[in-house]
C-alpha cells in the first residue's frame, strides 16, 4: 500500500507541472503592464527585484525542503502562487504589481528543486532512479505543451481583455493547492541534522560550492546558459513588433516556443545518448549564443524562428544538467543543491537584465541581442573549459 501511495506521486507531479504551466497571460504581459501605465524601465525593475529576491531565497527554501519535506515546500509554493495571482488580478499600479512579484518570488523559490528532488527520491524508493532523466524530461515536455496551449488561448483572450488572462490563470492555480496536499513525502536516504539549521546550511553550501569542483562548475555553467537564455523573455514582444508580426500571433509564436522546448525535454535522453554528454554541453552554448546573433542581424517577419534555437536549448538543458547534478549529490542535500543551481541561473539573469534594458533604451533592441549573444558565447566557452579541466567533460 505504501509503495502504491509513493507511485501516485509520479502522475501527481505530472499534473502539478501541467497546472504550473497554465500561465495564460505571459504572451501579453508587457501589454498588460503598459495598459496599467508601467514604462519599460519599471517593467525591468519589477523583474530585477523579483529575480534578486529569488536569489536570496533559493538556498534557504531548498534547505527548508530538505529539512521539512518536499511536500511542505510544494504546498507553500501553491499558496504563494495563488496569492500572487490574486494580487495581480486586483492590482492597477507599480507597487501592487511589485507586491505580486514578491509573492511570485516566494512561490518560485519554494518550488525550485523541491519538485525534481521529490521525483528523484520517489523513484529511488521504487528502485527506479535510473528512469529519472526520462521521466523528468517527459514531465517537462508535457509542461511545455500545456504552456503552449495556454499561450494560444491567452493570446486570443487577451485581444478581448488583457486582465481576463490573469483571472484564468488564477483559477488554474487554485487547483495546485489540493494537489500538493495530496502528495506523499518520499523517504530521504540520509537523515539531515536538524539542529543548528544555519550552520548546517552553510556546511552544505561549502560542500557544493567550494569542495566539489565538478558540482561547482556544472552549476556555474547552468547559471550562465539558462540565466542568459531567459534574459530575452521580456524582449520577445517588442522584438515581434519591430519584425512586423501582428499582436494576434504573439500567443501562437510563444506556443511554438514551448512546443520546441517540449521536444527538447522529451528527447533529451535520446539525443544525449547519440551525441554524448560532451557534445551536448558544447551544443547548448552554441545554440543560445548563435540564436541571439541571428535575431539581431536578420530582422524580418519570420525572424522569431531564430529564437527556436534558444527554446530547444532550454528544454534540452534542464533534464541533462539536473541529471549531472543528481548524480554528483546525495539525497539529504539534493533539494538544497538544486536550489543552488536555480539560484545561479537567477543570479546571472538578475545581473544581465538591467544592463540589457539600459542598452535597449540608449541604443537599440538589436544591439542588446548582439551583446547577449557575444556574452553568452564568451562566458559559456570559459565554463566549458573549466568543466574540461575538472574532468566533467
pLDDT tens sequence across 302-319: 999 999 999 999 989 888
Report the alpha-carbon distance of residue 260 to residue 329 in Å, rounded. Answer: 30
In this predicted structure, what is the pLDDT of residue 1? 46
Question: To the nearest whole number, what is the mean pLDDT of the chain?
Answer: 86
Report the alpha-carbon distance of residue 23 to residue 31 in Å, rounded. Answer: 15
- Give 135-197 as a DSSP string: HHHHHHHHHHHHHHHHHHHHHHHHHH-HHHHHHHHHHHHHTHHHHHHT--PPPPSSPPP-SSH
In this predicted structure, what is the pLDDT of residue 192? 47
Report the alpha-carbon distance of residue 129 to residue 206 in Å, rounded. Answer: 26
Range in 57-71, 132-146, 178-192 with the lowest mean pLDDT = 178-192
In this predicted structure, what is the pLDDT of residue 60? 83
In this predicted structure, what is the pLDDT of residue 284? 93
pLDDT digits (tens, 9 = 90+) for 236-266: 988 998 998 888 889 899 888 878 888 898 8
Indicate if the pLDDT at residue 92 is higher than 90.
yes
pLDDT digits (tens, 9 = 90+) for 210-220: 677 888 888 88
Residue 145 near residue 95, CB atoms below 8 Å: no
In CATH terms, the superfamily for domain 2-185+193-389 is MFS general substrate transporter like domains (1.20.1250.20)
pTM over 0.85: no
In this predicted structure, what is the pLDDT of residue 287? 95
Residue 365 near residue 242, CB atoms below 8 Å: yes
Q: What residues have CB less than 8 Å from 217, skipping those under 6 apart?
A: 383, 386, 387, 390, 392
Other Cβ atoms less than 10 A from the Cβ of 277: the count is 15
Segment 226-231 shows an average pLDDT of: 89
Burial 297-308 (b: 16+ CB within 10 A, else e): eeeeeebbebbb
Q: What residues have CB less than 8 Å from 330, skipping those under 6 apart?
A: 189, 190
Q: Delimit the domains of the chain by residue range.
A: 2-185+193-389
Indicate if the pLDDT at residue 86 is higher than 90.
yes
What percent of the chain shows pLDDT beyond 70? Answer: 93
Q: In which band, very low, low, confident or very high, does the pLDDT at 102 lie, cut at 50, 70 and 90?
A: very high
The maximal CA–CA distance of the chain, rounded, in angstroms, is 63
pLDDT digits (tens, 9 = 90+) for 34-83: 899 888 778 888 998 998 898 888 778 877 887 788 889 999 999 999 99
In this predicted structure, what is the pLDDT of residue 198? 62
Phi, psi of 37 (to 5 degrees): 70, 25
Segment 123-142 shows an average pLDDT of: 83
Indicate if the pLDDT at residue 194 is higher than 80.
no
Amino acid at each position: 500500500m505504501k509503495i502504491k501511495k509513493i507511485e501516485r506521486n509520479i502522475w501527481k507531479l505530472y499534473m502539478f507541472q501541467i497546472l504550473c504551466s497554465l500561465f495564460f497571460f505571459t504572451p501579453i504581459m508587457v501589454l498588460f503592464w503598459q495598459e496599467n501605465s508601467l514604462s519599460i524601465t519599471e517593467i525591468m525593475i519589477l523583474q530585477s527585484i523579483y529575480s534578486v529576491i529569488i536569489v536570496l531565497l533559493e538556498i534557504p527554501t531548498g534547505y527548508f525542503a530538505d529539512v521539512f519535506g518536499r511536500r511542505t515546500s510544494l504546498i507553500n509554493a501553491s499558496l504563494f502562487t495563488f496569492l500572487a495571482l490574486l494580487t495581480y488580478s486586483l492590482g492597477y499600479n507599480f507597487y501592487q504589481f511589485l507586491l505580486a512579484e514578491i509573492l511570485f518570488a516566494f512561490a518560485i523559490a519554494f518550488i525550485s528543486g523541491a519538485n525534481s528532488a521529490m521525483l528523484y527520491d520517489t523513484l529511488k524508493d521504487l528502485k527506479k532512479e535510473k528512469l529519472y532523466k526520462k521521466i523528468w524530461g517527459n514531465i517537462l515536455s508535457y509542461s511545455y505543451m500545456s504552456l503552449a496551449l495556454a499561450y494560444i488561448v491567452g493570446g486570443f483572450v487577451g485581444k478581448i481583455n488583457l486582465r481576463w488572462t490573469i483571472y484564468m490563470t488564477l483559477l488554474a492555480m487554485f487547483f495546485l493547492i489540493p494537489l500538493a496536499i495530496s502528495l506523499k513525502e518520499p523517504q530521504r536516504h540520509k537523515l539531515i541534522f536538524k539542529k543548528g539549521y544555519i550552520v548546517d546550511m552553510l556546511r552544505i553550501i561549502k560542500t557544493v560550492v567550494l569542495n566539489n569542483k565538478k558540482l561547482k562548475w556544472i552549476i556555474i555553467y547552468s547559471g550562465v546558459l539558462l540565466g542568459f537564455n531567459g534574459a530575452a523573455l521580456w524582449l520577445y514582444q517588442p522584438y515581434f513588433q519591430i519584425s512586423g508580426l501582428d499582436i494576434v500571433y504573439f500567443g501562437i509564436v510563444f506556443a511554438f516556443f514551448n512546443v520546441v522546448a517540449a521536444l527538447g525535454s522529451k528527447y533529451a535522453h535520446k539525443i544525449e545518448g547519440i551525441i554524448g554528454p560532451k557534445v551536448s554541453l558544447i551544443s547548448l552554448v552554441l545554440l543560445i549564443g548563435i540564436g541571439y546573433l541571428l535575431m539581431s542581424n536578420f530582422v524580418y517577419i519570420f525572424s522569431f524562428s531564430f529564437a527556436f534555437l534558444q527554446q530547444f536549448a532550454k528544454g534540452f538543458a534542464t533534464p541533462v544538467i539536473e541529471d549531472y547534478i543528481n548524480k554528483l549529490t546525495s539525497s539529504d542535500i539534493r533539494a538544497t543543491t538544486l536550489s543552488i543551481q536555480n539560484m545561479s541561473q537567477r543570479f546571472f539573469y538578475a545581473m544581465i537584465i538591467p544592463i540589457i534594458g539600459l542598452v535597449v533604451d540608449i541604443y537599440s533592441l538589436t544591439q542588446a541581442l548582439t551583446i547577449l549573444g557575444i556574452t553568452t558565447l564568451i562566458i559559456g566557452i570559459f565554463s566549458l573549459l573549466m568543466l574540461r579541466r575538472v574532468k566533467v567533460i
